[in-house]
Chains A and B, each alone.
Chain A
Amino acid sequence: MKVMIDGKKYDAEYGEYILNVARRNAVNIPALCHSDALPGQGNCRMCIVEIVDKGRKSIVASCAYPITGEIEIVTNSERIYRIRKTIVRLLSASAPDNEYINRLRKEYDIPPETRFKVDRDGKCILCGLCVRACDEIGVSAISTVNRGTTKRVSTPFDEPSTVCIGCGACAYICPTGTIEVNEDEGRRVIWNKTFELLKCSECGEYFITREQYEYIKKRYDLADTNELLCDKCKKKGIGDKLTNVLHNVIPVQK
């Protein structure tokens, strides 16, 4: 079917999200909580667009609005710009040290915040991608905690998680670099838990935590495999499986 985006006609599949069609055709719609691997979050609301569907006008989140008819879409009206600008301002007051948001702030020409009490305690914008990635891998070590204005992401009781495998998918997918991963001499520290790293048997570089290795072996029933190859050295075998596991979560874009 055809949809009209900013006055031009494009092809779209039934049920496809507006954002996908737009991106495929190089129409720029900003989005913070979107990942091609984990679509349809609809949390950040930066990707809002105006639509006219059967004569009815409304504002929708383009990352989660499925196209089911021939609709008209406006991605860059003055109103949409104004709302996005306010969202960026709100975010930057709550995550002022977030470089990504700072870039956006400049882009939207927002002066440094003087009205609000800026929070200095974090960069997280609670997009929710990390929690979904962790669920998707099947580990669910982290979740959102509390609600409303006190909501945050953490491990149960804010303690090192017993189930975390240290795979780092949460940090990888985080759009704002909020989740800290420290690696040093064969160790990885993430979410206050320290993991031992294993070396690639081909190139000798540290690349996977022991827990992650065990998890993949168990999940793919590879008890007999002792092969341990990093992404770069992967041929066949567990390296492939590893990328498979993470593939659902992390778009391959090295």
Chain B
Amino acid sequence: MFYTKTILNKYPKEQRYLLAVLQDIQKKYNYLPRGALIMVQEYFDVPLSKLYSMATFYKALSLKPKGKYIIRVCDGTACHIRGSALIIDEIHRLLNILPGDTTEDGNFSLETVNCLGSCALAPVMVINDKYYGNVTPALVRRILKEYGGVNCEHIQEKG
């Protein structure tokens, strides 16, 4: 919890910095560890219930650890009408996770985002920070294979 302490020390003890602190912790650990929440509670002297409420309200915050690769599929309107649902289905079929879930081996998390502002590339998928534009179900298979997420024998390459 060393990092949490460092993060806390950057901010004055005013409630308005709560969200920023939680975001920083989220960025550091990819989720909000319970111990960190307790430290935040003590530092700001706010009820734990309020922190828990915030942690479950804001989509940027998560109480569950995320996978090594975070797959974010844009389901903004432009992506949606260009077929993002097919992309999500394909990932679900291949990795057996629904949006919000993480694979059992802790390698992949699947999330949907409302818009990445890259509508010209629709549908868009981002793995960690790498953008993939004009994604198709077939392309999903190839990309996930690159990340070691799909059993190669069952994948037939497209010509």
Interface of A is mostly: loop
Complex alpha-carbon distance, A155 and B52, angstroms: 8
Complex alpha-carbon distance, A146 and B57, angstroms: 5
Among the listed stretches A2-10, A41-49, A156-164, which one makes contact with chain B, having 4 or more residues with CB under 8 Å of it?
A156-164
Inter-chain contact A146/B56, CB cutoff 8 Å: yes
Inter-chain contact A161/B49, CB cutoff 8 Å: yes
Inter-chain contact A157/B34, CB cutoff 8 Å: yes
Shortest CB-to-CB span from A150 to chain B, Å, is 9
Shortest CB-to-CB span from A1 to chain B, Å, is 38
Is A140 part of the contact surface with B, judged by Cβ < 8 Å? yes
Inter-chain contact A155/B56, CB cutoff 8 Å: no
Given A143-B49, A144-B53, 10 other A-B contacts at CB below 8 A? A139-B47, A140-B47, A142-B49, A143-B50, A147-B57, A156-B48, A157-B34, A157-B52, A161-B48, A161-B49
Q: Which residue among A143, A145, A162 has the maximum number of chain B CB atoms within 10 Å of its CB?
A: A143
B143 proximity list for chain A (CB < 8 A): none
Return 21 A-B CB contacts under 8 Å, by A number: A141-B49, A143-B47, A143-B50, A143-B52, A143-B53, A144-B53, A145-B52, A145-B56, A146-B56, A146-B57, A147-B56, A147-B57, A155-B49, A156-B48, A156-B49, A156-B51, A157-B34, A161-B48, A162-B48, A163-B47, A163-B48
- Could you give, for residues 128-153 of chain A, a 1 whenever the CB lies within 8 Å of some chain B CB and a 0 otherwise? 00000000000111111111000000
Q: How large is the interface on A (under 10, 10 to 19, 20 to 34, 35 or more residues)?
A: 10 to 19
Footprint of A on B, CB under 8 Å? 34, 47-53, 56-57
> Which residue from chain B places its CB closest to the CB of A155 in the assembled complex?
B49
A141 proximity list for chain B (CB < 8 A): 47, 49
A147 proximity list for chain B (CB < 8 A): 56-57
Q: Which residue among B50, B53, B57 has the maximum number of chain A CB atoms within 10 Å of its CB?
A: B53
Complex alpha-carbon distance, A140 and B15, angstroms: 15
Complex alpha-carbon distance, A41 and B51, angstroms: 22
Shortest CB-to-CB span from B116 to chain A, Å, is 21
Complex alpha-carbon distance, A161 and B50, angstroms: 13
A157 proximity list for chain B (CB < 8 A): 34, 52
Q: Which residue among B34, B51, B56, B57 has the maximum number of chain A CB atoms within 10 Å of its CB?
A: B56
A146 proximity list for chain B (CB < 8 A): 56-57
Shortest CB-to-CB span from B15 to chain A, Å, is 13
> Which residue from chain A places its CB closest to the CB of B37 in the assembled complex?
A156
Complex alpha-carbon distance, A147 and B58, angstroms: 8
Complex alpha-carbon distance, A144 and B35, angstroms: 21
